[in-house]
Amino acid sequence: MFLLLPFDSLVVNLLGISLTVLFTLLLVFIIVPAIFGVSFGIRRIYMKTLLKIFRWATLRIERGAKEKNHPLYKPYVNGIIAKEPTSLEEEIKEIRRSGSSKALDTPEFELSDIFYFCRKGIETIMDDEVTKRFSAEELESWNLLSRTNYNFQYISLRLTVLWGLGVLIRYCFLLPLRIALAFTGISLLVVGTTVVGYLPNGRENRPQNGGICVANHTSPIDVIILASDGYYAMVGQIHGGLMGVIQRAVVKACPHVWFERSEVKDRHLVAKRLTEHVQDKSKLPILIFPEGTCINNTSVMMFKKGSFEIGATVYPVAIKYDPQFGDAFWNSSKYGMVTYLLRMMTSWAIVCSVWYLPPMTRQPEEDAVQFANRVKSAIARQGGLVDLLWDGGLKREKVKDTFKEEQQKLYSKTIVGNHEDRSRS
């Protein structure tokens, strides 16, 4: 018969006590209060404490760097190159004014015009508005998670001890607690939605009117954040593995719109399924992220027009994460889902603001693209995000020829238009 040594018995007892304490904290301070909508104020105190520590660390870095004549990190800026909003025609006229003796409105091509396109090309390479939206947002201060600027050099003993203490807290306390919470939450989700699927439909679950909830997209947890405050029908591709288990579980509680991989690219089929869902007033509003990919919490990129073609009422939602406590952006090109979840669970906290904007409908004179841009501008304005016209698909695809042709037509119009104007005069 196998007998435990005194040391082994002590380890087992300590492990059992630790797990008991962990699940007790989870149940008493998180699960039960969340069920009844009660808050003990622990999160608020936790956030205020972190902000004070971050401010102290930043001041200590700045003071220590000045004392030892180390270069300070650069302040955060939205772009590397300062740009002024000018048109192609105005800039070419400026170049001709400074380096040409010909009339500014001459219709002929001038060699100096090349410099405009050369400068624009170099600026785009050096300060690409699209690519930098898929890199982690750079902070003005250190949040004890990473060095947020490559020029940072100064470090002290107290900062090192503080960082080490933070690592112990994040990996030895917060990570196990969050893994246990995630396991418990997913288990309750699967069991709860399965049970709800066998219950008769209640009037309290029916939306007042059909519609589409549209939001900017930063992280896969955007869905969880919005679902914690309302009920939505999800739209997406059918997956396997753990995601497939969750999809099959939630579809038992209410109808969602899942597509096979071969159906996703069929725009007419997608539009038909969405229209049928919205027209059925007994079904929940659809939750859609029209960008089609995660953006790094600084901008809103082009909305795909498909969601705005079906004539439903659109309910815009703006989501903005606070990067001081942790980076919620999922760079899917760099991190897999498991790595991303590990980074999330070892951050200090995930804090975000959510704004529910007034419902919007398509105006008679608007097409789907104009309507999508109007909704996108409203979300960007409310969330303090940069409103970009670029397609998020450029993250994985090349620039479409239509963008190049648009610039060519614009330059051609500048020359031909000036020629026509001079002929009429």
Q: How far is CA 291 from CA 154, 230, 288, 383, in A?
A: 39, 21, 9, 15
Residue 54 φ then ψ, to 5°: -60, -45
Res 396: pLDDT: 72
Same-domain status, 128 and 276 = no
Same-domain status, 93 and 230 = no
What is the average per-residue pLDDT within 365-383?
94
The pLDDT tens digits for 314-368 are: 999 999 999 889 889 998 888 888 889 899 999 999 999 999 999 999 999 999 9
| Structural domain includes residue 10 | no
- Alpha carbon distance 237, 263 (integer Å): 9
Question: Which three-class secondary structure state does DSSP give residue 344?
Answer: helix
| Structural domain includes residue 282 | yes
Choose from 96-100, 330-334, 379-383 the range with maximum mean pLDDT. Answer: 379-383
Res 203: pLDDT: 47
Task: Give the relative orientation of helices 6-26 and 175-197 as an angle to the nearest 10 degrees.
Answer: 60
Q: Are strands 212-215 and 286-288 parallel, antiparallel or unpaired?
A: parallel
Same-domain status, 245 and 355 = yes
- Alpha carbon distance 247, 104 (integer Å): 63
What range does the domain containing 118 cover? Answer: 88-138+406-424
State which H helix or E strand residue 237 sits in.
strand 233-237
Residue 243 identity:
M
CB atoms within 10 A of CB 205: 14
Q: In what order do the strands lie in the sheet with 314-321?
A: 257-259, 233-237, 286-288, 212-215, 314-321, 352-356
- Alpha carbon distance 96, 91 (integer Å): 9
Taking a C-beta distance cutoff of 8 angstroms, is the pair 315, 356 a contact?
yes
CA nearest to 182, candidates 217, 219, 221, 145? 221
Same-domain status, 215 and 259 = yes
Q: What is the mean pLDDT of the chain?
A: 79
- Alpha carbon distance 369, 12 (integer Å): 62
| Structural domain includes residue 46 | no
- pLDDT cut 70: percent of the chain above it: 80
Res 206: pLDDT: 37
Place of tokens 């785009």: 124
Check whether 80 has a pLDDT greater than 70: no
State which H helix or E strand residue 318 sits in.
strand 314-321
| Structural domain includes residue 279 | yes
- Alpha carbon distance 300, 359 (integer Å): 19
Higher local confidence (pLDDT), 29 or 82:
29
Res 123: pLDDT: 75
Question: Which three-class secondary structure state does DSSP give residue 271?
Answer: helix
Cα 183 to chain centroid distance, Å, stands at 24
Region class of 5: left (phi > 0), else alpha (psi between -120 and 50), else beta: beta
- pLDDT cut 90: percent of the chain above it: 20
| Structural domain includes residue 397 | no
Same-domain status, 191 and 237 = yes
- Alpha carbon distance 346, 352 (integer Å): 17
The pLDDT tens digits for 249-295 are: 887 777 888 877 666 667 788 888 888 888 888 888 899 999 988 99
Residue 317 pairs in a beta bridge with 215, 356
- Number of residues that this document lists for the chain: 425
Question: With bands split at pLDDT 50, 70 and 90, how would you rate the model's confidence at 151?
Answer: very low
Res 235: pLDDT: 83
| Structural domain includes residue 301 | yes
| Structural domain includes residue 118 | yes
Taking a C-beta distance cutoff of 8 angstroms, is the pair 378, 360 a contact?
yes
Same-domain status, 349 and 415 = no
Same-domain status, 92 and 211 = no
- H helices of 255-327, in order, are 267-279
| Structural domain includes residue 215 | yes
Same-domain status, 124 and 220 = no
Check whether 137 has a pLDDT greater than 90: no
The pLDDT tens digits for 17-74 are: 877 887 787 788 888 887 787 888 888 899 999 999 888 888 887 787 777 776 555 5
Check whether 310 has a pLDDT greater than 90: no
- Alpha carbon distance 124, 168 (integer Å): 42
- As given in the structure block, the two tokens for residue 152 are 């940072």
Same-domain status, 115 and 248 = no
Count of helices and strands (H, E) across the chain: 13, 8
Same-domain status, 102 and 197 = no
CA nearest to 142, candidates 81, 42, 72? 72
Domains contained in the chain, number:
2
Taking a C-beta distance cutoff of 8 angstroms, is the pair 314, 375 a contact?
yes
pTM: 0.67
Same-domain status, 227 and 99 = no
Same-domain status, 218 and 300 = yes
